[in-house]
Structure 1
Amino acid sequence: MSDEHSNWGKAKALLNSADFELVCSGLELIEVLCDDSKDLENLLGIEGILSREDLVRDLPIAHFPDYVHLWILGKYAELGVSWALEITEVSLYWVELDPVPHTLIYLRNLSQLELVDCGIEEVPQGFDQLSKLEKLWIIDGHLTECSWIEGLHHLQDLNLSGNRITELPEGIKECVSLSSLSLFDNHLTHLPDVFDRLTNLDHLDMSRNRLRECPQTIGSLSALKVLFLYGNQLTELPESLGQLSSLEVLEISENRLSCLPQSLGNLYGLLELILKDNALTELPQSLSRLESIELCNIRNNPLMDCSVSIPVLNVDGSQWLQHKESICKNTKLRQLDLYDNQLTELGEEIGGLVGLEELNISKNNLTALPQSIGRLTQLLIIYAECNELVHLPDSIGRLSELRELRVNINQLTELPDSFGQLELLESLSLADNQLTVLPQVLGNLKSLEDLSIGQNSLIALPDEICALKRLQHLNCSRNKLSCLPQNLGAMSRLDYLVVSHNKLTELPDSLSKCSALRGLEIDHNHLSSLNPIRTLSGLDVLSVFNNIISSVPTWIGDLSKLSLIDLSENEITALPDSIGELKELTQLSCSKNALVSLPQTIGNLPTLMSLEASNNNLTDIPRTLKMESNIGELRLANNPLTSEARDWLRQQFAHIYLEL
């Protein structure tokens, strides 16, 4: 008995060592001394283990718990313990597993094994005996080979990305059930000619390797939907690629391709074709047959011609300047992406794209848009943010189908009167410009649902804005507004209103009619009263910090849908008891006020997760706050709390973030 206790004590001490080699010595000791599960539990000082959860609970390990528990799980399975043999899933992330516990191979019913960022250099001998594996991820390790794959015939999802594998074994052809295969970021220089056997593959990722060629048999993958080959050293692609009848995404950027096979035009279901950063001098005319395509990126290629009639195109600045005349003759072009090209002008030629539906010219150096843009009468979307636009052309009013216009972060000082003709416009972003006034014709935009005009120099909003009956979101923060239109309540669908960082001294009475309002942000103003919002029973978010409010009305408790209230940086001396009626409140902020106490009813808030009341005059906290509540954060710093209150808080809320 004394030897048994001695071995138990020695094993426990070794397993809890901070030295990994000593931990392994402890596991070796257990390997030598135990012949059955009873011996194992005696050595570990545990009993009655019936599950993985029992093991983790009853055998706490100080420094390498995941490693030790995995080793012991496998040992239970080796000893024939039924609950261990029935384990089907093991997932470990960011756990050092070098070496991988050899007992892992006894978990013979594993169907899913995920070992991510575990520093694995090799798998244990006999790993191919895990023949029931369907999903195997060994990601971001140090594997150099994977010859053991051929024994895992039931694999459906194999991901060995982020290793150092130099060769994909021929034996992978036996894994005929594979639907997803990823060896992203390895050291592969070639692929075996086995894809005619892997016909169930629908996702193949061989990106960031050193591949110089692609096997012809890849064309046998009739179920393949996604093919990633970017970041290799490919100089050509096989014609057989055109046989991938199910392909939707082809990413072959960052290679050394100088031409593409004409057969790519047979990929009629292709949605995304990414060709950037190659050495392409021309595009096959067959690409004009790809009528379903939604993305075609050809940036950073020395193209001599861009006349292919393709529906979508993403080009760089030099390609645009060199080929815009031929590009603009493409009447099939629906989407043109010129994002981030340092362009200073578009050119009047763009008016030739009469079929264009979406234009992205964001993040350039454009100071104006050409008048010919008014000829693009099929345009639905214009993204022109982050430029240097000082005005918009009058012809923009002819874009009668336009649904979305983003011209935020420019230098606009005014809008043309023709703006009022955009009657189908649903979303308009004018934020971060230099606007001092909005035209009255803005009220003609009857379809507008989302209007962002923040960060301008507006001193007033036109009364006509209240005619926007469909408006749901209005952001006019960071302006110089001293009042809001008196008829604001006419916008009956208004869902979220942001007027922060202005000079408001009062809210219009008609705001009470905005019954659909769910969010109201009015912080950083000069408001002293909240009366107009008392009937907004659907309000979910109320932010009024940094105003001059001295009291919170008792009717606040009637706003039963409130989940967030921010009253910080005001002049409030007390919160009403009725605040305890807000049964859906999750966050209450009242920092930087003049509070001397909090209401006892604050303990009646069942969903409260965060209470911020720092920088007040609190000496005590209501004892109605309970540690079994949902509160996960209490911020009470810079209050003259008594030592008794501090001790009580530390005792009650030791398990959460507590700031005193």
Structure 2
Amino acid sequence: MFLFFTVLLCTRITRSLVGLLDSLSDNTNEYKIYQNCYIEELNSDDIDININLRELSLELNLFKGSKKIPRLICECIKLKVFKSTNGFLDNLPDTFTKLINLEHLILNKNEFTEIPITVFSLINLQKLEMQDNHIKSIHNNIKYLKQLKILKLTKNLITYLPSGFCELKQLINLNLSNNKIMFNLKVFSVSEDKHIDFFDIMSSLNLNVLYLEHTKLECIPDRFEFKNIVEFYANRNKLSDIPVSTLRNSSLKSIYLDNNHFKKFPYNILTLEHLELFSIESNYIYTTIKITDLVSPNLKFLNLNNNKIKNFYISSDAVPCLTTLSLNNNHIENFIINFTSNSSLEKIYLRKNNISVLDKKFTNFKSLNLLDLRENNICKISDLNVISHEKMVLKIQLDTINLAENLFSTLSAEKVSITCKRKPASENDLNLLKQNNDENKLKILKLKFCYLSKIPKGIKRLSSVECLSFKNNKIKKVYNDFKDIKFLKKLDLSYNQIKFLDPNILLLESLESLNLANNCLKTFPPSIKQINHKKLKVNWDKCGDFLRGDKKDLGWMDIPFTYAPEIKVTFKKVNLEHITAAEVYMTYFNDMIQWDIEKIPQIILTEPENTEISNNDLINLWNLYLKPHITTESLINSMEKYVNALCKIETLRYSFINFFNSKQYNKIKLYLYTIFNTIKDKNDPKQIENICTAISQEVDFCYDAQYEMLQYIYISLKHDGVMDISYFIENLISKIKYDILSRIITSNDHSQNVHKLGYWRNKLADELGFIKNMISYGYLRSEKLIDKKMYILYQFFLLFKVESVAQEIVDTINENGNLLCIASQFIYENEQKESKLKEYMEFDDIELLNIEKITKEGIIFILKKMKLVYKNKTKRLRNL
């Protein structure tokens, strides 16, 4: 099992961390003597410590400008990996030399100005990373790191290397990139010398990989030989040539010379026997390139993007293994490629050039799987062989979409992406697929920026297509032309002008993704209530500000809350975050019986009485009155462990409880004690076991989850045994409000539901009447509909209608003889007319108070007498 422990030391340090640190130390007498001092020091520092026992690694994160490493860490002599990044370290303590077994030291993103002298005592060190510091010089003592294999010193201020570097015979990977003044003229008086000294040191090493990117490198001395170097990275420099002598007997496989000053193509590099990758992007090469005579037997990847090449000729005899040719963003007009159909060429990138004709020279390769001709100006498609490579991807820009008819007549690719330079002369007669083979294997078709005003004819003939995109066109109406496409999974209609969408598109059986963002839709189609929300994801972003729908279609507020987490929405016309619950209710709800909205926030449960609870009180309550009634051994063990954890019995602590502060401890203990006391008095073994089962399911979770669970149980138990019907009803309404909010917020399987519920309960506490609570974790609000206050309030009042609440109250009362008695007595005392009494209750003999049940009208009568509701006599405008 993979052991990974994280301890946040913003509270007191735990014994579990001390145990982990002990296991990494040698437990000497000196260590034992000072252990308490070490722990006190850890407690006083604002730090995080992460320990991975399997890899014997420790990560230290420092906060608030702390610049020292706690002494206890330097006693962990078994450590092999130490990491402290993105901090404020500028030195290491002398005791750091005790970490003699350290193999990997990572000190990136700190404030070191040199490699600390203590590092050179770590004789087993194999990897040293000090990237993104302020290192200006390297001490000659680096020669003592005889086992060093990898050294990464990027993003520093290094100007030279000491002679001791020559003794690092095990070093195989050196990264000095982004030391921007390493080859600066101000450091060396002679331009040649600044390079000779450096490369003489490189010649003495056995490097396999050398990084010198962005170092102002201007030349490579003739007497240097790449020798064992396999990968050379020299991007973003001032190189204009690579001497032939340096390449003699070279083992180079990868060379990166992007963003340099080459004006001519360095043909000599292609003669390297082992070369597989050559990138010379973003230089100033303008000459005609002919790769036809010389031979580069193993070259697989050639990148010449972002140059000024006009003519390009290449032959498969010269590069028989070439798989990728990239010539994007040049000025190529003539592109001659002499390859056999059996060549290994797989990808050709020619984006942003001046190619105007598409013919067989681009497609006559069996292995070709990507041809990118976007941002050219293809005005003619001629002499085109049948493109029968089913795995091929074609990306192309045409003059107009009409040219695509010729393309599809010979096309049998898997993925096609087309853009156009101009709008078609006539779109009415356009039928892209009229000559298309019915057995076409096309799976992805993208027609972006093609100036389409409607879905092209013949789309339904693409029987195998899985993805269709008509993004960035001018389509206004979309009919269900996709019903016969049985495998369609993704449909992108974003950035059009769509005002009408066939509702049946949302019911396509195979569809999984529908993008309708940035259109002109004013309402949702009614079929949104029928779709499988877990399978089909629809993006409605920026489609309009339609809060309410009409008789046929739906608005934002009408969307079921089970689907709301999937919908991203931005309201433009008004700021709806500041709208109040009262404004939503009075604007949109006009029922015959209305809530007195000012009374709703006043209907709120009180928390358990805040009394001091000793650990013995809680343990005794559990042991004497609850534990004997539980029959399941695993439930007993779980609850016992939980109770002991809350009572801080160290050996039985749950991980999340470790991080409770004192207020959270007391709050959870208070709720648990009150719940235990309540169910003890009822003496119902079945209820005791059911409630303990519910509690045990949350004990492994965070404070927020435990609080929500315990509060819900407390609210559910609160109204039992009440003798005042008004008090009972108010408690029950409080529970109903909580249930409704919980149902809306947690209607999906989002991992942060409990934190969302805590957030919204606190945010709406003053407006709807909820108990506020300190929550441990926040959550990141999004632009999803379920995160909009306006939407939550609207959905809340949909479920919190007087009629619905009254029905839930009456069902609860009629199931409890005691409640039925006190409710009927309340009605009898406040209403004398027998006709009304018959409306409010069902009974055989009113004089004998032989009441069978209370009616919903009777509950509404009680609510009126409590002045919580009233009969509505006005009609309000439903707009905002």
How far 1:277 moved relative to its partner?
Answer: 0.7
Instruction: Map Cα deviations across residues 500-534 of structure 1 (whole Å, 9 max, x no partner).
Output: 536673899xxxxxxxxxxxxx9x93443628x5x
How far 1:184 moved relative to its partner?
Answer: 0.9
Alpha-carbon separation, structure 2, partners of 1:212 and 1:440? 59
Alpha-carbon separation, structure 2, partners of 1:384 and 1:157? 44
Secondary structure of the corresponding residue to residue 166 of structure 2: helix
Question: Contact 1:435–1:457 (CA<8 Å) still a contact in 2?
Answer: yes
1:199-238 to 2 correspondence within 5 Å?
201=230, 203-216=231-244, 218=247, 220=249, 222=251, 224=253, 226-234=254-262, 235-237=264-266
AA partner of residue 235 (structure 2): S
Q: Does residue 498 of structure 1 match 2:533?
A: no
Match of residue 441 from structure 1: 481
Instruction: Map Cα deviations across residues 265-317 of structure 1 (whole Å, 9 max, x no partner).
Output: 54456145335415574433237855662442254256755344465433365
How far 1:366 moved relative to its partner?
Answer: 5.1
Match of residue 131 from structure 1: 146
How far 1:428 moved relative to its partner?
Answer: 1.0
Question: Contact 1:115–1:138 (CA<8 Å) still a contact in 2?
Answer: yes
Question: Contact 2:756–2:779 (CA<8 Å) still a contact in 1?
Answer: no
How far 1:264 moved relative to its partner?
Answer: 7.1
Alpha-carbon separation, structure 1, partners of 2:492 and 2:328? 33
TM-score by length of 2: 0.50
Alpha-carbon separation, structure 1, partners of 2:109 and 2:307? 33
Alpha-carbon separation, structure 2, partners of 1:265 and 1:389? 45
Match of residue 348 from structure 1: 381
Q: Does residue 188 of structure 1 match 2:188?
A: no
Question: Contact 1:253–1:274 (CA<8 Å) still a contact in 2?
Answer: yes
1:607 and 1:157, CA in 2 relative to 1: closer, same or farther beyond 3 A?
Answer: farther
Match of residue 371 from structure 1: 405
Alpha-carbon separation, structure 2, partners of 1:585 and 1:437? 35
Alpha-carbon separation, structure 1, partners of 2:766 and 2:422? 49
Instruction: Map Cα deviations across residues 533-578 of structure 1 (whole Å, 9 max, x no partner).
Output: 5xx8xx9746688698979xxxxxxxxxxxxxxxxxxxx9974344
AA partner of residue 205 (structure 2): C
AA partner of residue 417 (structure 2): Y
Question: Contact 1:205–1:229 (CA<8 Å) still a contact in 2?
Answer: yes
Alpha-carbon separation, structure 1, partners of 2:387 and 2:294? 27
Unaligned runs of 5+ in 2: 1-29, 51-57, 69-83, 184-194, 340-344, 577-583, 590-735, 791-880
How far 1:393 moved relative to its partner?
Answer: 4.0
Q: Does residue 165 of structure 1 match 2:176?
A: no
Secondary structure of the corresponding residue to residue 371 of structure 1: helix
1:324-363 to 2 correspondence within 5 Å?
324=357, 331-332=364-365, 335-341=370-376, 343=377, 346-349=379-382, 351=384, 354=387, 357-361=392-396
How far 1:207 moved relative to its partner?
Answer: 1.7
Alpha-carbon separation, structure 2, partners of 1:134 and 1:486? 63
Match of residue 327 from structure 2: 297
Question: Contact 1:275–1:297 (CA<8 Å) still a contact in 2?
Answer: yes
Match of residue 111 from structure 1: 126
Give the alignment's Cα RMSD to 1 decimal.
5.0
Q: Does residue 285 of structure 1 match 2:302?
A: no
1:137-536 to 2 correspondence within 5 Å?
137-146=152-161, 148-163=164-179, 164-166=181-183, 167=195, 168-176=198-206, 178-191=207-220, 197-198=227-228, 201=230, 203-216=231-244, 218=247, 220=249, 222=251, 224=253, 226-234=254-262, 235-237=264-266, 239=268, 241-245=270-274, 247-248=276-277, 250-256=279-285, 258=287, 259=289, 262=292, 266-268=296-298, 270-277=300-307, 281-286=311-316, 290=320, 293-297=323-327, 299-300=329-330, 305-309=335-339, 312-315=347-350, 319-321=354-356, 324=357, 331-332=364-365, 335-341=370-376, 343=377, 346-349=379-382, 351=384, 354=387, 357-361=392-396, 369-385=403-419, 389=423, 391=427, 393-397=430-434, 398=436, 400-462=440-502, 465=505, 468-477=508-517, 478-480=519-521, 482=523, 484=525, 486=527, 489=530, 494-499=535-540, 501=543, 505=549, 525-528=555-558, 530=560
Alpha-carbon separation, structure 1, partners of 2:297 and 2:461? 41
How far 1:406 moved relative to its partner?
Answer: 2.0
Question: Contact 1:161–1:183 (CA<8 Å) still a contact in 2?
Answer: yes
Higher relative contact order (CA 8 A, sep 6+): 2
1:349 and 1:143, CA in 2 relative to 1: closer, same or farther beyond 3 A?
Answer: farther
Match of residue 135 from structure 2: 120
Secondary structure of the corresponding residue to residue 451 of structure 1: strand
Instruction: Map Cα deviations across residues 317-357 of structure 1 (whole Å, 9 max, x no partner).
Output: 55314xx367756523653323345x4x5323485674573
Alpha-carbon separation, structure 1, partners of 2:441 and 2:422? 25
1:308 and 1:245, CA in 2 relative to 1: closer, same or farther beyond 3 A?
Answer: same
Secondary structure of the corresponding residue to residue 113 of structure 1: strand
Instruction: Map Cα deviations across residues 63-100 of structure 1 (whole Å, 9 max, x no partner).
Output: 75589855333x2255xx3xx33333333334333344
Question: Contact 2:146–2:167 (CA<8 Å) still a contact in 1?
Answer: yes
Question: Contact 1:281–1:305 (CA<8 Å) still a contact in 2?
Answer: yes
How far 1:228 moved relative to its partner?
Answer: 0.8
How far 1:255 moved relative to its partner?
Answer: 4.8
AA partner of residue 349 (structure 2): N
1:474 and 1:460, CA in 2 relative to 1: closer, same or farther beyond 3 A?
Answer: same
Match of residue 71 from structure 1: 91
How far 1:137 moved relative to its partner?
Answer: 1.2
Instruction: Map Cα deviations across residues 373-428 of structure 1 (whole Å, 9 max, x no partner).
Output: 22341232222358554559423452723221222455321123212211121111
AA partner of residue 210 (structure 1): K
Secondary structure of the corresponding residue to residue 359 of structure 1: strand
Alpha-carbon separation, structure 2, partners of 1:278 and 1:623? 66
Question: Contact 2:442–2:465 (CA<8 Å) still a contact in 1?
Answer: yes
Unaligned runs of 5+ in 1: 1-37, 509-521, 552-571, 589-604, 640-660
Question: Contact 2:210–2:233 (CA<8 Å) still a contact in 1?
Answer: yes
Alpha-carbon separation, structure 2, partners of 1:493 and 1:57? 41
Question: Contact 1:215–1:238 (CA<8 Å) still a contact in 2?
Answer: no
Secondary structure of the corresponding residue to residue 185 of structure 1: coil
Alpha-carbon separation, structure 2, partners of 1:486 and 1:60? 53
Alpha-carbon separation, structure 1, partners of 2:482 and 2:506? 10
Alpha-carbon separation, structure 2, partners of 1:441 and 1:93? 57
How far 1:473 moved relative to its partner?
Answer: 0.9
How far 1:433 moved relative to its partner?
Answer: 2.6
Secondary structure of the corresponding residue to residue 129 of structure 2: strand
Flag the structure with higher helix content: 2
The structure that has the greater radius of gyration is 2
AA partner of residue 209 (structure 2): S
Match of residue 576 from structure 1: 741
Alpha-carbon separation, structure 2, partners of 1:241 and 1:428? 42
Alpha-carbon separation, structure 2, partners of 1:99 and 1:291? 46
1:249 and 1:350, CA in 2 relative to 1: closer, same or farther beyond 3 A?
Answer: farther
AA partner of residue 314 (structure 1): Y
Question: Contact 2:537–2:566 (CA<8 Å) still a contact in 1?
Answer: no
Alpha-carbon separation, structure 1, partners of 2:316 and 2:63? 64
Instruction: Map Cα deviations across residues 20-49 of structure 1 (whole Å, 9 max, x no partner).
Output: xxxxxxxxxxxxxxxxxx9xx99xx97999
Question: Contact 1:584–1:607 (CA<8 Å) still a contact in 2?
Answer: no
